[in-house]
Chain A
Amino acid sequence: MKSQSIGQLALAAAALCYLFGVYFASSPVWMGFTINALVIAVIAMSWNITGGFGGLSSFGHAALYGTGAYASAILQVKYGMNAWVGFGAGILAGAAMGAFIGALSFRYGLRGSYFALVTLAFAEVLRICASSFEFTGGGSGLQLTLAPGLANLQFADRTVVYTALLFVVAVVMGLTALIKYSRFGAYLIAVRENEDAARALGIDTYRIKVQAMAISGAFGGLAGVLYLQLWLFIDSNVVYGSAVSIEALIGPIIGGAGTVWGPLLGTLGLHLLGEGAKHLLPNAPGLNFVLYAIVLICALRFLPQGLVGLAGKIGAFTRKKEDDNA
């Protein structure tokens, strides 16, 4: 926390003000909208572990999100398990899927574009499987029964849902910060900066990368479970679709890849923009994605370190550590 700038603190404060301001907004629309954005922020944080810290750009994070959602839904619908079991199982399943994809890809030394493609292919295979097999509900998906109560993780009051979600987001961000400032995080960043040099220094890069994928998978599975508990319905196109993979990577890149606050800020900013556009042009589905894409291109060109990096340049306390962002 040493090298934070006034700009970054202001940015974080603005996000917090917004998140708490939602409690006092009179319209329930804001809360519903923010709840959606927060679920996406969790999958963005999942991408940030591998894509941001590890430099392993995945184009198929839907594979993790969908696996978490399906694992939880299958346990609840087909085996009558309690939602808490589903919650834990979803996280574990996501982690297992992440470790599996990572172990396979890194065993054979896939990097860069090849890793991007193989993750994309995994998401696509899972999507087709989920829409074809009876076990996963096939094309019609899986539906949870609506039964409010703590045991089912379903609450009639949106405020409770929102508070719980804020808590989850805070935990994930706290874990991200822990990872970033741990020895493991330092290894992971070393892998991103120069994998060969990291290996030469004695870092087991294969293990580090697989562990990063497992952690990312746990967060991704968590996001999928959150989606399931909020909407009580999933099908293969919703949770394994390419839109999830795109949203997972676009938020962190715009907010600042490899930072603790980046995924949250990027996702919230994008969703606010998309929501604003929806109000201006109500009958334009997909318009938000056009905007996201334009913002993404501009961010790649003008904000190589995202919003957090930009804010870092405003009123930096220590000029020497400019590249070391929050």
Chain B
Amino acid sequence: MSSLIFPAVLSGLMMGAVYALVALGLTLIYGVLHIINFAHGSLLMLALYAVYFLWSYFGVDPYLAIPIVLPVFFVLGYCLQRGLITPMSNGSEQNILLITLAVSMIIENLALYFWTSNTRTADIAYAYDTVEILGAFLPLGRVIAFCAAIAVAPLLWCFMAYTRTGSAIRAVAIEKRGAELVGIDVNHTYAICFGMGTACVALAACLLLPTFYITPQVGYTFVLVAFTTVVLGGMGSLPGALIAGLLLGVIESLCGLFLGESLGQIGIFLAFILILLFKPSGLMGRAR
């Protein structure tokens, strides 16, 4: 058994990096808008289909699809926030929550209608080439996803810390009224943030597709894991999301190993409930 633990931890880390990437988008949106975006998983599903169709109809390699899908989903996220969520919510937090839920219902059920519930996989030849790391064999696609996700977190952090847009986002997150007074366009900043969160999901889709399946419901599994990651990392904390994502990947992988495949995710949800109850501010979050 112990010989299985190390490979399980490694493959958990690989999956965890993708969870972290999805959660980075979610935590970015939460940190600034203070809303939980229920549509996040559906947007991931939409992005997966976009990458899949680019690959199957036009032969675009999922990794080369990044420069196409990323801007498109940034714009989609921007428009969603500016065109739908802000005008329809009357500014109440609960309404925003419900509108993102409604958006996810619309996306998911339309996907079910147009693309049916069939499971699709992209058979990309090199994705399952194995790489040997310290005696464990891992699929190439997962290793690439891991490296990319690990690279994105510091990039995002630098963006927030050193650019003007980044400071505007932080200003709005801390004090909305004050930011407005010094001339920051709050609605624009919100929408930028939502766009960036959606772009993270699009990137995650490009990295996931080679080694994952797609169904219209695939977003649901990810969104719950992403919620857990965000809460565990501390709502709004980028480094927290990265660490929490990796940790949850390992938890899931180990639970899968010891309790059986179908119960793997239970570890995640139990962790979720325990964190929400005992430390809702998370690992790296500010005290509420």
Contacts and interface: CB of A to CB of B under 8 A. Distances in A.
Q: Does B associate with A?
A: yes
Interface of A: 57, 59, 104-105, 107-108, 110, 112-114, 116-118, 120-122, 124-125, 128-129, 131-132, 242, 246, 249, 253, 284-287, 289-290, 292-294, 296-297, 300-301, 304
Contacts of B88: 297, 300-301
A286 B89 CA distance: 24
A112 B231 CA distance: 14
Contacts of B110: 286, 290
Given A296-B98, A300-B90, A287 B224 contact: no
A285 B113 contact: yes
Given A57-B94, A128-B266, A285-B112, A118 B276 contact: yes
A294 B269 contact: no
Contacts, number: 115
A57 B263 CA distance: 28
Interface string B265-281: 11001101100111010
Nearest to A128: B266
Contact of B263 (A104, A118, A132): A132
Contact of B112 (A104, A121, A286, A293): A286
B93 interface: yes
A110 B90 contact: no
B5 interface: no
B262 A128 contact: yes
Given A125-B269, A293-B102, A297-B88, A114 B280 contact: yes
A249 B38 CA distance: 15
Contacts of B35: 113
Contacts of A117: 36, 227, 231, 272, 276
B94 A112 contact: yes
A121 B231 CA distance: 12
Contacts of A114: 231, 276, 280
Contact of A121 (B102, B272, B280): B272
A132 B102 CA distance: 30
A105 B274 CA distance: 10
A129 B270 CA distance: 11
Contacts of A104: 273, 277
Contacts of A125: 266, 269-270, 273
Interface residues of B, number: 41
A236 B145 CA distance: 33
B36 A113 contact: yes
B113 A286 contact: yes
B278 A129 contact: no
B23 interface: no
B109 interface: yes
B132 to A, nearest CB: 33
A260 to B, nearest CB: 21
B106 A293 contact: yes
A293 B105 contact: yes
Contacts of B265: 128
Quick one: which of A104, A117, A304 has the most chain B CB within 10 A? A117
B90 A290 contact: no
Quick one: which of A112, A287, A297 has the most chain B CB within 10 A? A297
B99 interface: yes
Interface string B225-240: 0011001000000000
Contact of A292 (B84, B105, B231): B105
Contacts of B105: 246, 289-290, 292-293
B102 A297 contact: yes
Interface in B233-288: 260, 262-263, 265-266, 269-270, 272-273, 276-278, 280
A296 B94 CA distance: 13
B95 interface: yes
Given A294-B106, A297-B102, A110 B280 contact: yes
A293 B93 contact: no
B103 interface: yes
A300 B269 contact: no
B101 A113 contact: no
B81 to A, nearest CB: 14
Contact of A129 (B106, B266, B280): B266
Contacts of A120: 224, 227
B89 A124 contact: no
28 contacts: A57-B94, A57-B97, A59-B101, A105-B277, A108-B278, A110-B276, A113-B35, A113-B93, A113-B97, A117-B272, A118-B276, A120-B224, A121-B272, A121-B273, A124-B224, A128-B263, A242-B220, A284-B113, A286-B113, A289-B108, A290-B106, A290-B113, A293-B105, A293-B106, A293-B109, A296-B98, A296-B99, A300-B95
